[in-house]
Amino acid sequence: MRETVLGDVTITRIKEYYGSVELSAGTFFPEAQEETWREHESWLAPDFVDAATGVIVSAIQTWLLRSEGKTILVDTGVGNHKERPYSPVWSRLSTGFLDELATAGVRPEDVDLVINTHLHVDHVGWNTRLDGRTWVPTFPNATYLMPRADFDFWNPANGHEPKLGRGNQNVFEDSVAPVHEAGQTLLWEDSHTIDENLRLDLAPGHTPGSSVLALESGTDRALFVGDLLNTALQVVEPDVNSCFCEDPAAARATRRRLLGQASDTNALLLPAHLGGHGGAEVVRDGDKFAIKTWAPFARL
């Protein structure tokens, strides 16, 4: 199963990529000791780490939501044909992402809303597609919701020096600016209510404009937390950041706050990149957290 229903909202998992991200656990998560990975290896491998090589395994996926008659995409992956000189694993991909969407019954023109939880290379790629030599919005009828704090932070005109170094080279130019110039962006601040079921809230730390989409429908809850969790290890070790977290202290605080909220409200936690079942329900475990049950999606 790659679809589940929470209240009045249908959630479908659309895979773009699953496998090695060509970064060792020690490089991706420098704050986690090797012993910590080994301690949890029995359940982290093979879905989240390759035990033999110590290389991190990740999914690049889009959450397709149908709510109040609207078709909504949460994050748009890496995209095809993008030049990523400083992120070679994401350079010049040619995946069948749009076919995956079509299999789920969605044509590009059907998409009403695109949500970019933040503006990293692996969250905005399918915002645009190559038309001849020009990047054009992939979803011609969609409004693209972007957090203004990230729009400003990643705009090269503002000259910020991110932790990602030049890993986001070209990303603003080929995946953000063309949508903005087409008049299809809505830059939001602090919080943005989408409909009766869905609300975006700022959750800074990983990036200045990182955000969380909260689903509340009837008694059902879910939190789409983007890259607040990059691996399942961060559930049991919530203070461990990725090397791409711009503000380490804020990222830790935000991660703990949202894990607590998910535990206390029985919310299904759906990060952007978890392999395996793609998400989990979590519970408090002393001052840390534990997996209660995996999300009801088939294992990748």
Give me the least distance between CB of 221 and Zn ion, in Å please.
Answer: 23
Q: Tokens in use for 10?
A: 């249908």
Q: Quote the CA–CA distance of 73 and 194 in Å, as a whole number.
A: 13
Interaction between residue 75 and Zn ion (CB under 5 A): no
Give me the least distance between CB of 208 and Zn ion, in Å please.
Answer: 15
Give me the least distance between CB of 68 and Zn ion, in Å please.
Answer: 27
Interaction between residue 100 and Zn ion (CB under 5 A): no
DSSP state of 132: T
Give me the least distance between CB of 204 and Zn ion, in Å please.
Answer: 15
Nearer to Zn ion, 197 or 280 (CB): 280
Interaction between residue 174 and Zn ion (CB under 5 A): no
Interaction between residue 122 and Zn ion (CB under 5 A): yes
Stretch in the footprint of Zn ion (CB under 5 A) among 114-122, 177-185, 195-203, 212-220: 114-122
Interaction between residue 227 and Zn ion (CB under 5 A): yes
Nearer to Zn ion, 7 or 248 (CB): 248
> With b meaning 16 or more CB within 10 Å and e meaning fewer, what string describes 16-46?
bbeeebebebeebbeebeeebbeebeeebee
Interaction between residue 150 and Zn ion (CB under 5 A): no
DSSP state of 78: S
Give me the least distance between CB of 58 and Zn ion, in Å please.
Answer: 8
Nearest CA to 82 out of 156, 153, 176, 12 is that of 176
Contact of 229 with 255, CB cutoff 8 Å? yes
Interaction between residue 246 and Zn ion (CB under 5 A): no
Q: Quote the CA–CA distance of 176 and 162 in Å, as a whole number.
A: 17
Which residues are registered as beta bridge partners of 147? 188
Stretch in the footprint of Zn ion (CB under 5 A) among 77-85, 143-151, 225-233, 278-286: 225-233
Nearest CA to 271 out of 112, 6, 61 is that of 61
Q: Quote the CA–CA distance of 23 and 54 in Å, as a whole number.
A: 9
Nearest CA to 120 out of 214, 32, 234, 243 is that of 243
Torsion angle (degrees, nearest 10) of CA 297, 128, 18, 26: -120
Contact of 166 with 158, CB cutoff 8 Å? no
- How many residues bind to Zn ion according to rule CB under 5 A? 2
Stretch in the footprint of Zn ion (CB under 5 A) among 83-91, 96-104, 121-129, 138-146: 121-129
Q: Quote the CA–CA distance of 144 and 72 in Å, as a whole number.
A: 10
Give me the least distance between CB of 271 and Zn ion, in Å please.
Answer: 9
Nearer to Zn ion, 90 or 139 (CB): 90
Residues 7-66 within binding reach of Zn ion (CB under 5 A): none
Phi-psi bin for 38: left (phi > 0), alpha (psi -120 to 50), beta? alpha
Give me the least distance between CB of 117 and Zn ion, in Å please.
Answer: 8
Nearer to Zn ion, 216 or 227 (CB): 227
Nearer to Zn ion, 122 or 174 (CB): 122
Which positions lie near Zn ion, rule CB under 5 A? 122, 227
